[in-house]
Amino acid sequence: MSAGFGTRAIHSAQRPDPTTGAVIPALSLSTTYKQSAAGVHTGFEYSRSGNPNRNNFEEAIADLEGGKYGLAFASGSATTASIVNALQQGAHIISVNDVYGGTYRYFTKVAVHGGIDTTFVNLDDPANIESYFKPNTKLVWLETPTNPTLRIIDIQAIADRAHAHGALLVVDNTFMSPYFQKPLSLGADIVIHSVTKYINGHSDVVMGVAVTSNEEFYQKLAFMQNSLGAVPSAFDCFLARRGLMTLEIRMQRHAENAQAVAEYLETSQYVDEVIYPGLASHPNHELAKRQQTGFGGMISFRVKGTLDNVNKILSNLEHITLAESLGGVESLVEVPAIMTHGAVSPEDRAILGITDTLIRVSIGIENKEDLIADLKQALEKAY
């Protein structure tokens, strides 16, 4: 029987314990499992290779993304590294230029030493990608919305071009979660998440995941998962699976709050620009409405003045916490140029518009009136 997103988020892969009847699967901390004969086991032999809690989470997130296979990793960065390691030496990657700073750092500082070359391309217009394909281009790497300037990339258009050149499309769906966006249904081959963010949702797990229906790449990635060993703990998987249960209602509240905050910021005399896909002023607003079912909880905005004004704003906030990361129930604020995107060169930050006065806010699920009041008083005190 088909079921809605919220129902599947709660019940997918949740099987009552056959011994106790517990409705929540037990936390399995064992590192190894009894075999009835040499090489004969129940599906588990060693926890790096497989763990009941990890399997439970992987099955559930694959269901929510509309994929066949889920593979969990120790972090979002470990997910990226494992995917790239599944490529042959000498492979070429095309990445959207406005990409998470940690991904940029991995491509430019680590993957390059393994013989993997990456070209960063402005993909606001999907046609821009055509001239960058090479015979050895194996992956196209997208974030949409991008981090931190919240550009929206046309997934279907990029997927069509990637496949025409024999490349796979990877989409980082961290900002939207499977509740608001399903890249596999738009032609993507692999979807990844920093589970640390919205999937877990409570700022107490560091974890990543990849979802795919591509059997060949799944086998390669499963081999990397086991061989590299960058796997999450059973407890982290237990917490992340618990987080999935409230994903629908959390994402609804994140988006409702973000829309209200973005509309307020557009009225502030201290703000030069508000970047939120839910605003009609966003250049990709219509595209966002077509490929997403909501606009998410992330806002970036550019304030008047200098970094000194930014620091005054941040120091006066009471309910919104200055910290990296995003997607938790609490609201967080950061300055990408100095914090999450410090690894990006000043020249590239200038091209992308990641200036010292660009502020990124992860809107939490607090009362929206309190968040607006907090921003209002902090902005007024900074000028």
Distance of alpha carbon 372 from alpha carbon 183, whole angstroms: 32
Distance of alpha carbon 327 from alpha carbon 189, whole angstroms: 24
SS3 content of the chain, % helix, strand, coil (to 5): 40, 15, 45
Report residue 375 as tokens. Answer: 């921003």
Residues 6+ apart with CB under 8 A from 70: 57, 58, 59, 60, 61, 62, 209, 210, 211
Q: Catalytic positions, please?
A: 48, 100, 172, 197
**Phi, then psi, of 210 in degrees rounded to 5:** -125, 140
Q: Is-contact 258 294, C-beta < 8 A? A: no
Specify which residues 271 forms β-bridges with.
Answer: 303
Q: Nearest-CA neighbor of 261 among 175, 371, 180, 358?
A: 371
Q: Which residue in this structure is represented by tokens 């930050």?
A: 349
Distance of alpha carbon 283 from alpha carbon 260, whole angstroms: 19
SS3 state of residue 72: strand
User: In whole angstroms, how far apart are CA 333 and each of 3, 13, 59, 340?
Assistant: 36, 35, 33, 11
CA 327 to mean position of chain CA atoms: 9
**Residue 112 carries which DSSP code?**
G
Distance of alpha carbon 205 from alpha carbon 211, whole angstroms: 19
**Residue 163 carries which DSSP code?**
H
Report residue 320 as tokens. Answer: 């919104």
